[in-house]
Structure 1
C-alpha cells in the first residue's frame, strides 16, 4: 500500500466505526455483487456518495468455504486512489461463529497491528483497510523461512490482552458443535444415509478421553487465533511483515491447540496429511516461537515438551473441524463436500490417535518421575 493511500485509510480508521444496515448476498455472481458493493460504499463513506459508479473497481480477493473477501478500489479525480477490503460473512455462519465476540475483539487486535484496520460493519460483513500482501498457500507455510515468520508473529499474537472472559473455549465449542451435529437430518437421501453411518456415541467417548488427557498437559491459556490456515496468513516480503487475518474463531484458548491446529492446516482443504510437519519441521517452528530473537538457544527439553503438547491438541483440531463440517453440511449453501470433509478429518484423528496419546501419556509419566517438570516448561511464552 502506498504511503498516501495508507494515510487515507488510517484517516477513515481514526473516525468512529462506520456502520450500514445494508446486506449483500455472497452467493450472487460477482457482476451482480458489484452493484450492491458500490451502494454499500456510498452509504458508509459519505465522501464517496456522489461518485459515479465507474469510479469503483470491485475484485474478488479470495473466497474460502465460509467467507468472501473483496477488494474495492476507488478512483477520485485529483486524489490518490484508495482501496478497502470488504468481507462478506457466509450464509448461516452465525450458527457457528460468535459474531459479537469477534467484533468485540477485532478493534483490539487491529489496534495492536495485526491484520487490517477495522473501518466499519454492515448487515452481513465488515469493511477493513486493504493489505498490500499476498495470501499464503499450504505449501508456502511449510517453507522454513515462512514458518519462522509465522511462529514469531503467532508468539506476538498470543501475548494480546483482550477484555472479557479468559476461559479457554476449545471444549465449550466442541461440546456445542457435538450437540448440534448429533441431531441433524438431511433431505438428501444419500447424505442422510452417509450421516447415519457416524457413531456419535464413539465420537462422544473420544472427546471425553482426549479432553481428560490434554488438560493434564497444562497448556498455557493465551489469546488464540484458532483458525490459522494458509488463507488467513498474508505476507508482504518488501516490508518483511506477516499479517494474521480473520478472527472469526479467535478466543482465549490453549496454546497447544492453536499451534497444533496450524500444523493440521499444512494439509489444506484436500487433507493431504503427508504434508503434516515432521518432528524437525515442528522443532524449527517451536524455536522461533519460544525464542524469536534467539531460536538456537531453545533447549531440547522445551522442544520435546511443546512437541507433545501441540500434537495432542492437533487431535482436538481434527474433532473440532470434523464436527464443524457436519453442521456446515446442513446449513451452508456453498458447493463443498462438507460431509466428506468430516470423514477426512475424523479418519486422520483415528489414524494419529494412538501415536500421540501414547506419546502424551509417556511424557506425563516421565514428568511425574521427574518431580513435575511439566509445570515449569508449559509456562513459557
Structure 2
C-alpha cells in the first residue's frame, strides 16, 4: 500500500548499493551537471516499502532528471513473491501500463519517474475521475500476463496463507480477531462467493488512491505498485477499491477508517456503468441484470477484502517497525467491519 507526502532525506539514509546504482545511472546521462549530487525526497505514506524521488540538476534548469527509488520493506516477502512482482512489473511496462524498470538490486529497485499527479482521497469521489479509473480498471483486467501464479484465482489461498502466518508468527491474542475460526470463515466465503460464471481477470488488488496517478493534460490514469496483483474475480478488485474510499492515509491518524465514506448505491452504479462502458439508457436497460449481479457480488466481496487487509495489518505490525503506521488498529477495524457486515451481506 502506498500514499504520497513529501519529506527530505539524506544520502546516508539509503542502502550503499542503492547509492552506487544511482551514481552509475547519473553517469550515463550527459546532461546531468553533477553526477554525485542528487536531491532525495522521501515520499511519505508508503506502508509496504520506503519510496524516494531522486532528482539531479541538468544543463536545462527547468528539466531536471528524476527517478523513483523503492527500498523494500522488512519481511514483506511473507505477503508476495518478489520474483513474481518483478516479472509482473516488467510485463506491465511492456504493455505500456506503468513506469519502466531502470534497474534493481537486492534491497530495492529504481523506476522511471511518472510525471503525473498521485490522487488524493477526495479525488476518488469526483465522478469524472472515478469514471476514468473504472475504464482503466476494465483495461487492466483484460491484460494477458505471464505465468507467475496469475492464471488461477489467488484470493482464497492467500487468505489461508496469511491466516497461518498470523497464527504462527504473531503474538497478538488470536481471540481478539477470531483467528482460530478464520479457516472456517474463509471456506464459507469461498463457497458463498465463488461461482463458475464470474468474470475473472488480472487484478491490482490494492487500488487505493496512492496507487493511482493521473496525467491532468491527457486526462489519463496509470496504476502503480503491483506487489499484490494476481488473477482474481474482478468483483473482488472493485470491492477492494470501494473499501479504500473509507481511508485517508494523509491525516494525523492515517490508520483510522471511516466507513460512512463507502460509496452509496448511485455512486457504485455509476462506477460500474463506466467500467462496463454503458453510456446510454438503452444499453443500461439491456444489461440491467448483469449490472445488478456485479453490484451484489462486489458488496459481498468486501468481506474478503476486510479479512485480507485485516490479516495484513496484524502481520505487518510485527514486520514494519521502520514505518510509522498503526497496523494493528488498522487490522482491528477491518475485522470489525467484517463481523458487522457479514450476516447482512451473505444473507442478501
Could you tell me which of 289, 293, 299 is aligned with 1:305?
293
Q: 1:41 aligns with which of 9, 18, 22?
A: 22
- Number of the residue aligned with 1:349: 338
- Please say if 1:111 is aligned against 2:94: yes
Please name the residue that 2:122 is paired with.
Answer: 139
Distance 1:209 1:339 in 2: 25
Please report the TM-score for the alignment, with normalisation by the length of structure 2.
0.86
Q: Which residues of structure 1 form unaligned runs of 5+?
A: 1-28, 187-191, 360-381
Aligned to 2:308: 320
Distance 2:142 2:302 in 1: 21
- Residue from 78, 84, 90 that aligns with 1:101: 84
Aligned twin of 2:252: none
1:78 Cα deviation from its structure 2 partner: 6.6
> Partner of 2:326 in structure 1?
337
8 A Cα contact 1:214 1:312, kept in partner: yes
Partners of 2:180 and 2:118 in 1: CA distance = 39
1:54 & 1:41 partners in 2: Cα distance? 8
Contact 1:41–1:48 at 8 Å: present in 2 too?
A: no
- Kept after mapping to 2: 8 A contact 1:264/1:276: yes
The 5 A counterparts of 1:1-381 are: 30-31=9-10, 32-33=12-13, 36=16, 38-44=19-25, 46-47=27-28, 52=34, 55-77=37-59, 81-164=64-147, 165=149, 166-186=151-171, 192=172, 194-216=173-195, 218-268=197-247, 269-291=255-277, 294=279, 296=281, 297-298=283-284, 299-333=287-321, 334-359=323-348
1:16 equivalent in structure 2: none
Which of the two has greater helix per residue? 1
In terms of Rg, which structure is larger? 1
Deviations 1:304-333 (A, max 9, x none): 111011111111010111111111112221
CA-atom RMSD in angstroms: 2.4
Aligned pairs, number = 325
Cα 1:95–1:201 shift into 2, 3 Å? closer
Give distance in 1, aligned partners of 2:19 and 2:57.
13
- Using the alignment, how far apart are the partners of 1:74 and 1:291 within structure 2? 42
The alpha carbon displacement at 1:338 in A equals 1.6
Conserved? CA contact 2:99–2:112, under 8 Å: yes
- Structure 2 unaligned residues grouped into runs of 5+: 1-7, 248-254
- Tell me the distance in 2 between the aligned counterparts of 1:332 and 1:347: 23
Cα drift, residue 62 of structure 1: 3.6
Instruction: Give the Cα–Cα distance (whole angstroms) in 2 for the partners of residues 77 and 52 of structure 1.
Output: 10
Under a length normalisation based on structure 1, what TM-score does the superposition of the two structures give?
0.79
Distance 1:288 1:318 in 2: 25
Distance 1:143 1:295 in 2: 20
The answer to whether the 8 Å contact 2:33/2:59 transfers is no
| Secondary structure, counterpart of 1:197 in structure 2 | helix
Q: Secondary structure at the match of 2:139?
A: helix
Residue 4 of structure 2 aligns with which residue? none
Contact preservation (8 Å) 1:256, 1:310 = yes
